[in-house]
Structure 1
Amino acid sequence: MNNMHNLDDASHIYSVSMLNNAASGLLNDHFGTVWVTGEISNLSRPSSGHLYFSLKDNQAQIRCALFRFKHTQVNFSLENGQQVIVQAQVSVYEPRGDFQLIVTSVQLAGAGQLQLAFEKLKNKLEKAGLFDAAHKKSLPIFPKQIGIITSPTAAALSDILKVLHRRFCSIPVIIYPTQVQGIAAAGQIAAAIKTANSRAECDVLILARGGGSLEDLWPFNEEAVAHAIFNSDIPIVTGIGHQTDFTIADFVADLRAPTPSAAAECVSPDATEYAARLSLYYARLLQCMNTHIKSHQSHLMHLQKRLQHPGEKLRQQAQTLDQLENQLHRAMLFYLKNKREKMAYYAVLLETLSPLKILQRGFSITREKKSGKLIRHCADVTAGVHIVTQLSDGEIESVVV
């Protein structure tokens, strides 16, 4: 009876739909537009283009609806696990009485928002050609001086100096101090790069800092730093954070090293390695020299055997000259003997054919006295001509009658 009495006294009884509607109005009037942060889960993408998901933290969750006309204004793709900040109106989905948020805008929270900015700048600079391999400068094999752009109090600087000292301690190092974290860091880094280029003291630069969160490394994702690296005439090697950390500076740099220590190894020759190479080259050179010397010694010994003392050579030449003289003397005697024999032969022959010999055998020769013409026939003379007849023992003059 008491319960019925209370029911009779009730001034108003709500239907379910009325209650849900009233609750929705109260929530909307009380909260208006709110900002809520949480992790996306249970993301649903129906064909209508609307998105439905839950926003949760460690202790609770709330359903959310992002309608298509608002979804098209979000500049990134929503995924499960993203930390986001949503602008929404608190409402009740009346058909089921579900408490929900009607989302009007979404942005990534914390590192997520920075990651979005990172991707935007990366795409922009990549399209502008700042990452092109054609613009990468080669590193010197033996740098005359190495420049380091980092914080003078950073542990990364100590690591770099240890590596440089271990690998090639004679290469001088110049430190260009700068902040590597905070609002002013990007401007100081860009200024340090320009200073190093204007002073032209080094032929390679290391841009480095130790590990940290995306927020800590953010100065190396600033556009001013990217352009300073790109415009540097000196090749730059980055060693920023850990192996898994990538910054815009890494993409623009001429070489990216996974750590500051690795960057130091990239820019410095290994003295131990080169000492081993020099030892090997020295051994090879020594071997080649010994082989060359032995070859020349063998050749010299061969020439030495062929070489004679000048006195011995003169004695051999004198002996040869004596032999030639004897040969010439014998040849001359033979030649003269041969000529004498020929002359004797021709003398006998001439004597045999001599007219005097003919005259001695009783013959005579007659000539005209005046002309000396030889008379062979009687017709060759006329009466009164004086003639001379030559006999073996004299001449007879006569007149033809």
Structure 2
Amino acid sequence: MAEVISVSALNRYVKMRLDADDVLFDLALRGEIANFVQNARSGHCYFTLRDDACSVKAVMFRSDAARLAFRPQEGMRVVVRCRATLYERDGAFQLYVNAMFPDGMGAAQLALEQLKEKLAKEGLFDPEHKKPLPAFPQCIGVVTSKTGAALQDIRNVIGRRWPAAKLLLCPVTVQGFEAAQQVADAIRRLDQRRDVDEIIVARGGGSREDLWVFNAEVIARAAFRCKKPLISAIGHEIDYTILDFVADQRAPTPSAAAELAVPDRAEQKRILLELQQNIRKNMQNRLDLCYNGLEQYNYVLEQHLPDRLLQKNAAALQQLQDSIRAQLREKETDASRQLQHAAVLADSLNPYRVLARGYAMMTTEKGKILSEGALQPEQTVYIRSASRRARCRVEAVEELNENT
């Protein structure tokens, strides 16, 4: 009869046998991810790896998951490096995954596509965020290697097209582990300078791996936050990076970026010459119009003989003046006659003329004429004649009738 053992002993024995098998200690398995969950607190990933017939549970601890270059998704086919053993507490056979790669697509490319999708959803590629390039920049910031061909290409093109522009180089490493952070920091430093009008981020041609650093999220976000217009010029015409989608302008080469950044001196000269010719032409047209108008006025003056018109109008004016003067004299005579008549009438009504004929009138001390109804006994009045005045005192006032 078999020895009776505990469940714990059984699980411990099976785990020991599995761990002792070198084949199970380092496996490379291909399968499809199902039921993928990443614990928010611990960071560990739990999922099932399955094929058409079977499935097995798997776990990937946080330290290994942090090295993933892509985001595992439900239904994704992957290849995992792992060890197979028994989870002793539950008696569950499972995989402990230490590395994972997309099956059929490179991890880096998958990570790139996922980053593009993430940034696009956040609006970093939207056209409404693109800033126009300045028409006549005075200072251009350049982010590139100080020893690379890209810098020399930019210098040559700008020196030929618009030598008035000043170049301000912020040298960086354009490949390697530290390159992404250096490029992002350089963009921020140039953006903070007041004298910089626009920024060119450039790198010469190279392999796809050489240009991969410009797909970094830190560079994309630095370019999006940049307030100065930014031109991306990475690699050759067929090469595209994340930075190209975020930048305000994308140039296929560093030389093309320099052409976008500054105007063409020869073209500007041609435009100025054309403007000068148009101005001269417009001025000549205006002079011609003025000359033609002057000729018309001369013709009108000759036809109407100004001297004759002046003489005719002068005679009419003299006649009008004579008529006005006659009317004024007549009105003056009538007014004088009326004034004399009014003076005679006024003189005849002058009360002092009546006094000259022997009459007198009673007044107050201040000369106000008193009517008969104003007389009162004991009142002092003044009797006024033509040349004398007498002060009198009224003793009594008597009413007179017509027969008295």
Give the TM-score category using the shorter length. Answer: 0.5 to 0.7
Q: Is the 8 A contact 2:76 2:102 kept in 1?
A: no
Q: Is the 8 A contact 1:89 1:103 kept in 2?
A: yes
Q: How many residues align?
A: 265
Structure 2 residue corresponding to 1:139, chosen from 133, 150, 153: 133
Distance 2:255 2:291 in 1: 53
Q: What's the TM-score once normalised by structure 1's chain length?
A: 0.55
Matched, 1:287 2:281: yes
Within-5 A mapping of 1:212-227: 212-227=206-221
Gaps of 5+ in 1: 1-24, 53-65, 91-101, 330-401
Q: What's the TM-score once normalised by structure 2's chain length?
A: 0.54
1:68/1:30 Cα in 2 relative to 1: closer, same or farther (>3 Å)?
closer
Matched, 1:164 2:158: yes
**Larger radius of gyration between Structure 1 and Structure 2:** 1
Distance 1:186 1:289 in 2: 58
Distance 1:232 1:320 in 2: 80
Q: Deviations over 1:164-197 (max 9, x none)?
A: 2222222222111111111111111111111112
Distance 1:225 1:320 in 2: 90
Distance 2:252 2:316 in 1: 93
Tell me how far 1:280 sits from its aligned partner. Answer: 2.4
1:282/1:70 Cα in 2 relative to 1: closer, same or farther (>3 Å)?
farther
Q: What's 1:358 paired with?
A: none
Q: Is the 8 A contact 1:33 1:87 kept in 2?
A: no
Distance 1:324 1:87 in 2: 121
Q: What's 2:181 paired with?
A: 187
Q: Secondary structure at the match of 1:215?
A: helix
Letter in 2 for 1:261: S
Letter in 2 for 1:276: R
Q: Is the 8 A contact 1:155 1:210 kept in 2?
A: yes
Tell me how far 1:233 sits from its aligned partner. Answer: 0.9
Q: What's 1:130 paired with?
A: 124
Q: Secondary structure at the match of 2:106?
A: helix
Q: Is the 8 A contact 2:137 2:165 kept in 1?
A: yes
CA RMSD in angstroms comes to: 4.2
Letter in 1 for 2:260: C
Q: What's 2:264 paired with?
A: 270
Distance 1:253 1:212 in 2: 20
Gaps of 5+ in 2: 1-16, 33-48, 61-70, 85-94, 323-404
Tell me how far 1:153 sits from its aligned partner. Answer: 0.8
1:180/1:324 Cα in 2 relative to 1: closer, same or farther (>3 Å)?
closer
Q: Is the 8 A contact 1:86 1:103 kept in 2?
A: no
1:71/1:265 Cα in 2 relative to 1: closer, same or farther (>3 Å)?
farther
Tell me how far 1:234 sits from its aligned partner. Answer: 0.5
Letter in 2 for 1:153: T
Q: Secondary structure at the match of 1:246?
A: coil
Letter in 1 for 2:209: E
Distance 1:320 1:275 in 2: 61
Tell me how far 1:205 sits from its aligned partner. Answer: 0.7
Q: Deviations over 1:292-321 (max 9, x none)?
A: 11111122233345558xxx9668745875
